[in-house]
Amino acid sequence: MTIKLMKIFNFIFKIILVGLAFAAIIPHLIPNYWLTDIFSHFKLQYVVLLIILLPSLFLIKNKLFPIILIFFLLVWNSSFIVPLYLQDSNLTKTAGDSLSILSMNLLASNTNYTEALELIREKDPDVLVVLELSPQWEKQLQELGSRFAFRQMYPQKNNFGIGILSKIPMNSSVTDLGKFFPPSILSELEFNGQPVFILATHPVPPVNQDMFDFRNDQLEEIVKLSKRQNGNFILVGDLNTSSYSNHFQKLLEDGNFKDSRKGFGIASTWPTDYHIFRTTLDHFLLKGELKVLKRTTEKSIGSDHLPVFLEVGL
């Protein structure tokens, strides 16, 4: 390699490395700006790119600082990922019966009804949570017949229709968590002789500062609502944030929630068609005595989100 090419290579290498450092760290230095928060969602992608950069260290001059920076960034980004693969015995040990829940972001414009209905029949959950429930999707779900005898449906002609269908008797109501938030559904059912609350929710996507603040306000209202319920609580839905965001971490801490993915991995769900950018927006968060028996990301149903299946016990 000529001296000129070496200089160009060194320059490009440094630009990429500095860019990765910026993308990885800036969301945690400036967490309350919508655009910087978006960079927080791709920790796995940063780790992969850093590993790809490692062989290039043999071709650059003045290696010490790049080695230190790459090592720091690998440790920093991995610290958000590795814990998801470490099983928490307090979250997974249980005895007795199980409660299964299937969460599906249907995508209001999606017309692949057959795939969705087939998955519901295949997983045969005790509780089905559907997001982006349109009037058309509500009609299609009628094909399930009496499989789910207890229902709280709130279809809309936008992306914020929502519904909970259950085989188990439940009391449920639609709540907006505040005057202007998208509708959520709070349900209470009995499992193993204990009350279990399920909150299905779908905050707005943070595509500008106003909607970013709006999403964060809704996450705060979720914490307040969960604290008003005594006993076991399951938060389920497309929260429009990954677990790597400061705001998700604040939700866990303030609400005393546990991430059901602990021991089950990243379980990325969005976007379905672009694996290279995929992150996790669809979540099950728990509090109380609930234990995770099984958690899987399911096959595509034509939506931009993958469904998620959860099985819990007490």
Distances (CA, A) of 276 to 16, 46, 50, 230, 307: 17, 11, 15, 41, 18
Q: Are residues 76 and 125 in the same domain?
A: no
Which residue, 56, 84, 112, sits at the end of a domain? Answer: 84
pLDDT of residue 90: 66
Q: What is the CA radius of gyration of the chain?
A: 22
How many domains is the chain built from?
A: 2
Q: What is the mean pLDDT of the chain?
A: 93
Q: Do the Cβ atoms of 237 and 282 come closer than 8 Å?
A: yes
Q: Are residues 111 and 219 in the same domain?
A: yes
Q: Are residues 38 and 95 in the same domain?
A: no
| Percent of the chain's residues with pLDDT above 90 | 83
Q: Are residues 264 and 277 in the same domain?
A: yes
Q: How far apart are CA 22 and CA 24, in angstroms?
A: 6
Give residue-wise pLDDT tens across range 94-149. 657 899 999 999 999 999 999 999 999 999 999 999 999 999 999 999 999 889 99
Q: Are residues 109 and 15 in the same domain?
A: no
Q: Are residues 170 and 285 in the same domain?
A: yes
pLDDT of residue 312: 96
Give residue-wise pLDDT tens across range 155-200. 999 999 999 999 999 999 999 787 778 999 999 999 999 999 999 9
Q: Are residues 155 and 180 in the same domain?
A: yes
State the CATH number of the domain containing residue 110.
3.60.10.10
pLDDT of residue 301: 97
Q: What is the mean pLDDT of residues 208-232?
A: 94
Give residue-wise pLDDT tens across range 157-169. 999 999 999 999 9
Which residue, 66, 84, 102, sits at the end of a domain? Answer: 84
pLDDT of residue 10: 81
Environment class of 28 (CB within 10 Å of its CB; exposed 0-12, middle 13-18, buried 19+): middle
Phi and psi (nearest 5°) for 265? Answer: 95, -175
pLDDT of residue 74: 97
Above 90 in pLDDT, residue 234?
Answer: yes
Q: How far apart are CA 258 and CA 225, in angstroms?
A: 16
Give me the domain span that covers residue 287. 89-313
Q: Are residues 67 and 95 in the same domain?
A: no
Above 70 in pLDDT, residue 245?
Answer: yes
Which residue, 60, 84, 108, sits at the end of a domain? Answer: 84
Amino acid identity of 104?
A: M
Q: How far apart are CA 233 and CA 256, in angstroms?
A: 10
pLDDT of residue 120: 98
pLDDT of residue 93: 64
Q: Do the Cβ atoms of 273 and 260 come closer than 8 Å?
A: no
Nearest to 262 by CA among 86, 12, 103: 86
Q: Are residues 247 and 278 in the same domain?
A: yes
Q: How far apart are CA 81 and CA 268, in angstroms?
A: 12
